[in-house]
Amino acid sequence: RSKSPVRISFGGGGSDTTTYFKSSKGAVINATISVFTHCSLKIRPDSKISIDSLDLNSKVDFKNIGELNSYQGPFSLITSTISTINPKFGLDLYLHSDYPISSGLGGSAVVVTSILGCFNELRNDKWTNHEISEIAYQIERLRLGVDGGWQDQYATAFGGINHMEFEKEKNFIYPLRLNRNVISELEESLVLCYTGMKHDSGNIHTDQKKKTKDLKTKEKIKNNVELTQRIKYYMMRGEVHKIGKCLHESWNLKRTFSKKISNEKIDKIYNKALKNGATGGKLLGAGGGGFFLFFTPYYDKHKLLKWIKSENLEHTPFVFENKGLRSWKVRVNQN
C-alpha cells in the first residue's frame, strides 16, 4: 500500500518549467498537507491487470500488459505508469483520493507517485525519492505530453515545507526547518477553499509556455521567483502575518501569465474573500479553477469561514504533512 500527499504552493509558480529555468534560475516554496491519494496493489496469480479508481468512479480490466499498453482513455495516467514499470505479473490496483481531480493540488503527480510507491515495495533495489520524482515527471510530461513544471513531483515524494531551486543542469530541494510555533500559526492562518471548478492544467501550461519566451512574461516570473525569497525570510523569522500580502502579490503576478488562469467568477471569489477577512491568497496549481489558498489573521478567520459557507464553497481543513510518499507491505487475509 501507499499514500502520497498533495501540495500547496506559496510562490514562484511558472519558474519550475524547463522552458523557463533553462535560461533563468527558478525557485518555488511549497508544502505538503494532510490530503492524500491512497493506493493498494495486490499481485494476481494470472496475467490480468485490474484497475479500480474511486476518483473516476470506474473500473477497467486488461487481459495482460500488452492489452494495457495499447489503452487510451480516462485511465491513461494510471495505465502509462503501469506500462512504464512493465510488470511481469498480473495485479489488482485500487486508487482513491481525498480531493477532487483537476483541482490544482498537483494531483496527477500524486497519483503517479502513489502507484510508484506500491511498485517500489516489490523492488530489491529501492528507488530514491529523487528517482521516483524523475520517473513521475517523465510519465506525465514526456510520455503523456502534458505540459507543466517539476515542483509537484518533488513535493509529493519528499514531503514537508520546501524551498526548491531549478537550474539548467540541477534541481535543489531545501527543507525549511521552521519553529513549531511558526508552523502552528501558518496552519491557523491558511484556509483552503475549493471553488467547485475543475481546471485543465495542461492547456494553461501550454499557453503559458508560449508566453514564457516573451520578455515581459519572463520578467513577471522572475519577480515571482524573487517573492519566494521574501516568503522564505518571513517564515524563517516567524513574521507569519506578512505572508498574506506576499500571496496577494504572487496571485496578481500569476494571473497575468495567461488569460486562462483567471476569469470573472474566480476574480469575484477572490475579491469577496478580501472583503471578508482574507489579507491575501492565490489560486493553486496552473489556475482556471480548483482550490484557493487564503491567508487570514486569527481574529478574522471565523468571518472568512462563515462567508465561504454562505457562498456554497467548500472549506478543506488541513495540517502540514512532514513526510512525503509512504509505502508499506501488508499481509492479506485470503479468506
- The CA distance from 176 to 187, in Å, is 15
Q: Identify the DSSP state of 242.
A: G
In whole angstroms, how far apart are CA 105 and each of 6, 56, 67, 118, 217? 6, 17, 31, 21, 23
User: Widest CA span of the chain, in angstroms?
Assistant: 64
Amino acid letter for position 101: I
Catalytic residue IDs: 152
In whole angstroms, how far apart are CA 195 and each of 30, 89, 102, 315? 20, 41, 12, 9
- The CA distance from 232 to 129, in Å, is 23
- The CA distance from 150 to 165, in Å, is 10
Cell of 48: 490480468
- The CA distance from 5 to 220, in Å, is 29
**Hey, CA dihedral for 173, 25, 30, 84, is it positive or negative?**
negative
CB-based contacts of 281, cutoff 8 Å, min separation 6: 244, 247, 248, 251, 270, 273, 274, 292, 293, 294, 295
CB distance 108 to 152 below 8 Å: yes
